[in-house]
Amino acid sequence: MAAQVQLPAVPRSVGSFRHDLDLSISELLGLLDLTQQVKQSRQRFARALEGLYLALLFEKPSLRTRMTFELAIKQLGGDCVVQSGMVGEREPIKDIARNLARWTDCIVARTYAQETVDELAQWSAIPVVNALTDLYHPCQALADMFTLREHFGRLRGLKLAYVGDGNNVAHSLLLCGARLGMHCTVATPAAYGPRPEIVEAACELSDETGGSIQVTTDAFEAVQQANAVYTDVWASMGQEDEAELREQIFAPYQVNEALLAQARPDAAFMHCLPAKRGLEVTDAVLESGQSIVFEQAENRLHAQKALLLTLLQ
């Protein structure tokens, strides 16, 4: 049995965390509050997952995601086993899910395809956490929202400008930012924008919260008066064969000093890391006083602790 820890009033309808919308707005806000408590008092939660064991499945290489999940589990008093390699090659995913559900208390999966996480959750009797797929990076977005709130003291009304590839990170930022009343702008080359259905969902959510969503091909327009400017690599894992072409297409979307100067004077620069310095961002911007990338990286640990507490308490 896990040691009982008094947690904030977070609704317990959460089962698996396959994508951002598996958390309601109230759950999302509660999780951000819990992240603050976890960050302020590590010892308070040191035995919260005592006696619990989690399975980590990693198809992709990882520094921040794997390290922060392993550390989160162990610092909460639990333990984990890690399996690297493709999920579903040796046996059906539905069999893997049902085996792990009989041995462990939660599955954390970093996979190439969203369908892998969805199928694990479909067949698993324990929570499944999306630690990154081709469509979403919800744990990153949780840490990013917490980092922005920590930095600016609020989220509602902030303008977040994302510049670069309309990838999994962009999708999760749109879905989270829309539900928190933020003004989110995404600037990408014409053929590399976020998925239309995700943009549509984010627009509908922002209508309810007083936020706004804009998608454009103009990077300079996107960052005008932004509170935060965010970018990511132009070629994600699995897109290595497109890297050279993407470097040419995305060159106008580099976050450099000139682009960042279009944002507010106190704007923060954000990146989920790892960064390709000299491509999507200059070294000068990444190392500047406006950069909060390592705060984001630290907060992955705290946000993921809060997520595990929410799912497993």
Predicted pLDDT of residue 236: 86
pLDDT of residue 313: 83
CB 301 within 8 A of CB 264: no
Backbone dihedral angles phi then psi of residue 82, each to the nearest 5 degrees? -120, 135
Q: Which CATH architecture has domain 140-296?
A: 3-Layer(aba) Sandwich (3.40)
**Tokens (6 digits) for 65:** 């995601």
Cβ proximity of 164 and 234 under 8 Å: yes
Which DSSP string do the residues of 186-200 spell out, in sequence order?
EE--GGGPPPHHHHH
pLDDT of 9? 37
Q: H/E/C letters for each residue in 198-211?
A: HHHHHHHHHHHHCC
Q: Which residues are tagged catalytic?
A: 110, 137, 140, 232, 272, 300
Cα 297 to Cα 143: distance, rounded to the nearest angstrom: 8
Provide the pLDDT for residue 205. 97
Where are the domain boundaries for CATH 3.40.50.1370 in the chain?
20-136+300-312, 140-296
Quick one: CA torsion of 230, 236, 144, 250, rounded to 10 degrees? 10
- Whole-angstrom distance, CA of residue 120 vs CA of residue 168: 19
pLDDT at 1: 38
CATH homologous superfamily, domain 20-136+300-312: Aspartate/ornithine carbamoyltransferase (3.40.50.1370)
In the three-class reduction of DSSP (H, G, I as helix; E, B as strand; rest coil), residue 152 is classed as: helix
- The CA radius of gyration of the chain, in Å to the nearest whole number, is 19
Q: What is the Cα–Cα distance from 50 to 54, expressed in whole angstroms?
A: 11
- DSSP at 62: -
Q: What is residue 12's predicted lDDT score, i.e. its pLDDT? A: 36
With a threshold of 0.85, does the pTM exceed it? yes
- Give me the average pLDDT of each 10-residue run along the chain (313 residues): 38 73 96 98 96 97 96 98 96 98 98 97 97 98 98 98 98 98 98 97 97 98 98 90 95 98 98 98 98 98 98 91
